[in-house]
Amino acid sequence: MRPYAFAGGTAVVTGAASGIGEALAEQLAGRGSHLVLLDRDADRLAAVAGRIAAGHPALRVATHVVDLADDEATARMAAMLVAEHPETTLLVNNAGVALGGRFDQVGLEDVEWLLSVNLRAVVRLTHTLLPVLKAHPGAHVVNVSSVFGIFAPAGQVAYATSKFAVRGFSEALRHELADDGIGVTVVHPGGIRTRIAESARTGAGVSVEEYEEGRKQFSKLLRIPPEVAAAQIVAAVERRRPRLLIGWTAKVPDVLVRLLPGTYWRLIARRAAPARPEG
């Protein structure tokens, strides 16, 4: 499969108002891609789009405000993207949310909220836009999973469920689309400085002390700037890499799980407090 051509293409990016999504939008524009940016934060999204449009006046920069936790709104948005942006050549499913607490500490409504954003929106947007992408041989799909799509820590049942599912979805989809000339990259970020922890929900059964301890431990891992992660993702897309691990906090667990598939958590639990999402 030939390298992905950014210049003149159109990239749809979800979760584009901050973090990795914002950095990706800026770097894709720098490569000459027109942009269709989605997020639930209207003000932040407008600021990102305005800055990019001012710096790249030759590019088209469209924005759509949508809450991907609303399945019906996501379906309407997907249909709108097909109608209004049939030139799309790159889909980046980046938006994600987090939920802290053991499975018996969180409500099923919170689990459904997380699955709507992290999994169902990924599946729905990809399925709806697939005919558009297949109309442009050489198109590409990026699905952002997590290091918690590689190993599954205690305290993150819902999050790990969604991210392992994104991983499996991406791998099977890659095999199906290879003959159509469409690439699929699944991304497993490690400790990226994003806003996902700030916007995370915490289960009703989680004590204040548990929450604060988890937050402090998690913050120590957030070392990688979103711009660095975005640059690696853009390079992976260009080279059609099937899988991208970002940072030692993704690469080390990947090796550990391969070596100790059934017992890795015993080792990790000795060295870590209750885990929080990492990307």
Please give the positions annotated as active site.
Answer: 159
Query: Quick count: other Cβ atoms within 10 Å of Cβ 136?
Result: 17
Cβ-based burial of 226 (10 A; exposed 0-12, middle 13-18, buried ≥19) = buried
* CA–CA distance, 128 with 167 (Å, rounded to integer): 19
Residues 6+ apart with CB under 8 A from 259: none
